[in-house]
Amino acid sequence: MTDTTEDTLRTRLGRLPGQFALALVNATAILVIVAAILALAAFARVEQAAGNVAATMTDAVMARVDVDPEQLVANLRDVTEDIRSLKVALAEARANGTLLPEAQAERLQARLDALQTGIRQLTETRTQLFDEALAGIGNAIATGLQALRNCTPTLASAAQEKEPPASSSSDL
């Protein structure tokens, strides 16, 4: 070999560890990017699933409760209006020195009772739904664990078990 060939070979071998380190850094960067993309995709799916579960649970709660949410909000607005009108009536009654209008107070009390009943029903249903959700999660975990306990062997190990043992010459 000539001196130039040995010099180029030495130079190439000298650069090899640096090039190898650069290749490792590039591969690591690519793996980090892939892992980040997969994490974002998994997060999006989990978020979508959580939204679906929340919507389903809300629908289930509303189906169980005899209170329509729109009606509950309307009752709340009506109570707010009654309180405002009662406030004005009280201010006028104080200014005039007269008594509180009894009809307004009774109407407000009736609406407050209806609103309180609806809120109580929603609270009770929420507790029941939470208990059922926990029971469902527990059942799903138990089913999964039972499935793991009853795992069947892989195909390779099953094939090994089915093969007859090799016969020896002493059996003849």
Give the whole-angstrom CA distance, residue 64 versus residue 123.
12
Q: Is residue 34 one of the residues assigned to a domain?
A: yes
List the structure tokens of 37: 């993309």
Tens of pLDDT, residue by residue over 48-106, are: 877 777 777 767 766 766 666 677 777 778 777 877 877 787 778 777 777 666 777 77
Number of H helices, E strands in the chain: 4, 0
Q: What is the pLDDT of residue 151?
A: 67
pTM, 2 dp: 0.39
Residues 115 and 48 in one domain: no
Write down the residue that tokens 């649970």 correspond to: 57
Residues 24 and 74 in one domain: no
Domain residue limits at 130: 66-147
Residues 71 and 136 in one domain: yes
Long-range contacts of 146-149 (CB under 8 A, 24+ apart): none
Residues 59 and 70 in one domain: no
Q: Number of structural domains, the chain? A: 2
Q: Is the pLDDT of residue 126 over 60?
A: yes
Residues 74 and 55 in one domain: no
Q: What is the pLDDT of residue 101?
A: 66
Q: Is residue 160 one of the residues assigned to a domain?
A: no
